[in-house]
Amino acid sequence: MVTSTSIGTQTLLEVKNLSVDYSAANGVVHAVDKVSFTLKRGEILGLAGESGCGKSTMAYAITRLLRPPAYITGGEVLYYPPEGRQRSPVISKLTQSGNATEGMADGAIDILQLTPAQLRLFRWNELSIVFQSAMNALNPVLNIGTQIMDVLKTHRPELGPDQRQRRAIELLNLVGIASDRLKSYPHELSGGMRQRAVIAIALALNPELIVMDEPTTALDVVVQREILELISSLCKDFSMALIFITHDLSLLLELADKVAIMYAGKMVEKATSKDLYLHPRHPYSHGLLNSFPNLHGPRRRMGGIPGSPPDLRAVPPGCSFHPRCPMAFGPCQSVQPVLKPASAADIGDNAQLVACHLYDPRFASAELPTQEQFAAGYASLIEGGKAR
Amino acid sequence: MSVIQQLSSRPGGTATIPVLEAIHLRKEFPVGQRLLGTPRVVHAVEDTSLALYPGRATALVGESGSGKTTVARMLARLYDPTSGTINFRGSPIKLTRSSAALHNYRRHVQLIFQDPFASLNPVHSVRYHLARPLRIFGHAKNQLEETQQILALLNRVSLTPADQFIQKYPHQLSGGQRQRIAIARALAVRPDVLLADEPVSMLDVSIRLDILNLLLRLKDEEQLALLYITHDIASARYFADDTLVMYAGQMVEGGPSEEVTQAPKHPYTRLLLSAAPDPDRIKAGGGGMREIGARGEIPSLITPPTGCRFHPRCPHAMEVCRQRFPKRTDLGGGHWTHCFLYGDGDGQTINQPAATPAH
């Protein structure tokens, strides 16, 4: 029943035209608007953007954790089980019957179509999540060993108590916590150790994909770096894919293979972190990168991005960034840009994708705008906008 | 642009007298008082000295628990120092809690808090928040003066049109706008010193620089002495003329920001810099996270390590580091550090560390 083809061996997750709305009393908030992207096996994808840009909402939609008033209004989230796993009891249960796999090639599973029972199997076995504040993600009245073993008890009922404990100790060692901490309660651990424990729980069943929502924001810089090193090495060792959400672009560029920038519910740019750092193509990405003072190089004046993100109940027509954009021109106010390669040379998996009319041959010349042009645009925008 | 002039960084030597000076400040907080035995205390700040000059920004950098906020709160007279003196315009202030003395002190020294969502009262309008300090400190005699000054303040923090903002309530404002109100409220007093405790860490990345640039502009316009408390050493480099680094309640290094961030001396400053996110590293290729040397976390301050508190994590720790805290060693150009690697206040270098680059 399940045959694997080229797409199945490379792609782990394929998101197609995903849209999420929040229905509020005073209008519908389009939090995520027709976002599409693919994630390869073992790849670290960073999602960055200002607060309210829809990055967390999108991650929760992928994990099916949204609750009303949030509704997924369209799209598909296809999960391609890895070859080795396709015969695993979990996957075969998921692929047997049910509408999640109907009409799908390559044994793909549409996460959005899973029934509650299937979802229960799918979560944590294939996909786990680490939430924003590790401080609150753990139950304060249970020791961390119990909390790790809880996962195993639920998802691996065949394991005995001894095996569960052995696995729990193994997991703690994996994240760099001494095994004598198994009986420690969360309040006895430092912030960094609690975050490690939460990561250990996420790793318990060897998932293929982990979603992390700002896992290090509450931590100090040195501890944050240790956690990021741990995450980076775990992803390599287990060839685990990771979706890492943060607003700290400078941190993301170091950690992630690819970075996607979101603005007002849309993905405006997706590129390898090196490409994005060296030549951001979207004016918004450029502004975001220039919101972080640098540690080296000349000290220069920086301005951030003037203005604030739009109200998602009334997103500006055309490109939603145009009211803040230093490069906006004619079509930006009326035509919605779509995510596509920035130049003809950008092909293949690592192509730099951008949703901006500056790269559309219909509206702009084939010459790519330079970083200096962006910088000059922002500088004049800041000078002119002092009265803001 | 005034900010550009500021960034071209003046040299460290200043002839002017500091407007506010902390000398050997210490703060201990009592914890878990027991009937018998010695009372336990948190040694939050040990022997901290710093000076703030008019028209200059000084950054105080450290991780949480390093005592940087405690220093700010002592300077704002929210906490009484356990020992030490605070000099205002060259003369020591009386550390009494009499309301007249505090009132008089706060006419000159104002504090901006970290969280603009908590520092404004949700049931009061912008007008109320700005009118209070104007009334309390006698800058406005009547309603008309008050309104004029509030509008002027709003314009100064770039909240325009000011006549629309004056009647708004905090919930109608974004985080950045709230922080501007908090800054305007501090300015309403017409202070000489502004203490900013992580003024941008709760704000969205794209507006952080806006607020920092606003503070820089105000600093130049009003010749304010600014203390900028932060955990982000990159923003300290951007914002401040001088940078001080604190670890576990001890000042470990200080000097002109450019010196401290580009040629860090103390092993802790080096650790802090190597841990800070730096996208420049991806230019060098490699990918993935680069390993940093020292690990671990800030020790308990109830029973802090003896001597230099960084010694348990320090790759260069020596026997003497466990015994006592080194004296201040001047490295020239206003740059100083407390580390035995560079001497013990006598200019005698015991042992130069291996040339570990900071980045």
- Sorted by where each begins, the domain ranges of chain A are 282-294+306-384
- In this structure, are residues B273 and B358 in contact, taking their beta carbons and an 8 Å threshold? yes
Q: Could you tell me if B359 lies within 8 Å of chain A, comparing CB atoms?
A: yes
Nearest to B272 among A190, A221, A388 (CB): A221
- In this structure, are residues B174 and B202 in contact, taking their beta carbons and an 8 Å threshold? no
What integer pLDDT is reported at residue B184 of this predicted model?
Answer: 93
**Average of per-residue pLDDT across A227-232:** 86
Q: At CA B118, angle to CA B114 and CA B121, rounded to 5? A: 130
φ, ψ (nearest 5 deg) of residue A116: -55, -40
Place of tokens 């500056």: A358
Q: Reduce the DSSP state of residue A350 to 3 states and report it.
A: coil
CA dist B61 and B75 (Å) reads 16
Distance (Å) from the alpha carbon of B100 to chain A's nearest alpha carbon: 39
Chain B contact probe: residue of A225, A240, A244 with most B CBs at under 10 A: A225
What integer pLDDT is reported at residue B130 of this predicted model?
Answer: 93
Least confident of A241-255, A297-311, B137-151, B332-346: A297-311
How many CA atoms lie within 13 Å of B30's alpha carbon, on the beta-carbon side?
Answer: 6
Place of tokens 């304060």: A140
**A138's tokens:** 């753990």
Cβ-based contacts of A291 with chain B (< 8 Å): 205-206, 208-209
CA dist A38 and A78 (Å) reads 9
Amino acid at A113: Q
Place of tokens 């992580």: B198
Q: Are A295 and B273 a contacting pair at CB < 8 A?
A: yes
* Tens digits of residue pLDDT in A132-179: 776 678 888 999 899 999 988 988 888 888 999 999 998 988 888 888
Q: Reduce the DSSP state of residue B336 to 3 states and report it.
A: strand
Cβ-based contacts of B280 with chain A (< 8 Å): 294-297
**Residues forming a β-bridge with B122:** none
**Average of per-residue pLDDT across B56-85:** 90
Q: Are B205 and A288 a contacting pair at CB < 8 A?
A: yes
Q: Does the structure show a pLDDT above 60 at A316?
A: yes
**What H or E segment, with its residue span, contains residue A226?**
helix A221-237
Q: Compute, in degrees rounded to 10, the torsion defined by CA atoms B91, B94, B100, B104.
A: 30
Q: How far is CA A383 from CA A300, A302, A369, B158, in A?
A: 15, 12, 21, 13
pLDDT band at B196 (very low <50, low <70, confident <90, very high): very high
pLDDT mean across residues, chain A: 83
Burial B300-326 (b: 16+ CB within 10 A, else e): ebeebbebbbbbebbebbeeebeeebb
Cβ-based contacts of A253 with chain B (< 8 Å): 277, 279, 282
Strand-pair category, A209-213 with A127-130:
parallel
Q: Are A299 and B7 a contacting pair at CB < 8 A?
A: yes
**Average of per-residue pLDDT across B174-188:** 90
What integer pLDDT is reported at residue B173 of this predicted model?
Answer: 87
**A184's tokens:** 């420690």
Identify the closest residue of chain B to A386 by CA–CA distance: B158
The terminus-to-terminus CA distance of chain A in angstroms comes to 61
pLDDT band at B12 (very low <50, low <70, confident <90, very high): very low
What integer pLDDT is reported at residue A27 of this predicted model?
Answer: 82
How many CB atoms lie under 10 A from the CB of residue B54? Answer: 18
What integer pLDDT is reported at residue A306 of this predicted model?
Answer: 81
What integer pLDDT is reported at residue A87 of this predicted model?
Answer: 58
Q: Reduce the DSSP state of residue A110 to 3 states and report it.
A: strand
Q: Which domains does chain B have, with CATH numbers?
A: 51-72+195-277+292-350 (3.40.50.300), 109-190 (3.40.50.300)
Nearest to A304 among B1, B207, B262 (CB): B207
CA dist A198 and A187 (Å) reads 14
CA A317 to chain centroid: 26
The whole-model pTM stands at 0.83
Q: Reduce the DSSP state of residue A142 to 3 states and report it.
A: coil
Q: Are A229 and B289 a contacting pair at CB < 8 A?
A: yes
What integer pLDDT is reported at residue A310 of this predicted model?
Answer: 83
Among residues A377, A337, A370, A369, the alpha carbon closest in space to that of A356 is found at: A337
Identify the closest residue of chain B to A309 by CA–CA distance: B206
| A102 contacts: CB under 8 Å, gap ≥ 6 | A113
Name the more confident of B11 and B151: B151
pLDDT mean across residues, chain B: 84
Q: Could you tell me if B11 lies within 8 Å of chain A, comparing CB atoms?
A: no
Name the more confident of A143 and B285: A143
φ, ψ (nearest 5 deg) of residue A127: -140, 125
* Tens digits of residue pLDDT in A10-22: 888 999 999 999 8
How many CB atoms lie under 10 A from the CB of residue B293? Answer: 13
What integer pLDDT is reported at residue A99 of this predicted model?
Answer: 58
CA B53 to chain centroid: 14
What integer pLDDT is reported at residue A113 of this predicted model?
Answer: 86
Amino acid at B124: H
- In this structure, are residues B277 and B218 in contact, taking their beta carbons and an 8 Å threshold? no
Nearest to B237 among A225, A254, A299 (CB): A299
The terminus-to-terminus CA distance of chain B in angstroms comes to 31
- In this structure, are residues A145 and A168 in contact, taking their beta carbons and an 8 Å threshold? yes
**Residues forming a β-bridge with B58:** B227, B242
**Average of per-residue pLDDT across A54-63:** 88
CA dist A195 and A198 (Å) reads 5
| A110 contacts: CB under 8 Å, gap ≥ 6 | A76, A77, A78, A79, A100, A101, A104
Q: Are B289 and A255 a contacting pair at CB < 8 A?
A: yes
**Average of per-residue pLDDT across B51-56:** 92
* Tens digits of residue pLDDT in A89-145: 667 766 665 555 555 656 788 888 888 888 888 888 888 998 877 667 888 899 989
Q: Does the structure show a pLDDT above 50 at B309?
A: yes
Identify the closest residue of chain A to B203 by CA–CA distance: A51
CA dist B139 and A65 (Å) reads 54
Q: Which of A192-206, B12-26, B123-137 has the highest mean pLDDT?
A: B123-137
- A-B contacts (CB, under 8 Å): 144
**B145's tokens:** 């003066």
Q: What is the ipTM of this complex?
A: 0.78
Q: E-strand spans in A87-208? A: 109-110, 127-130
pLDDT band at B9 (very low <50, low <70, confident <90, very high): very low
**B323's tokens:** 């015994």
- In this structure, are residues B113 and B194 in contact, taking their beta carbons and an 8 Å threshold? no
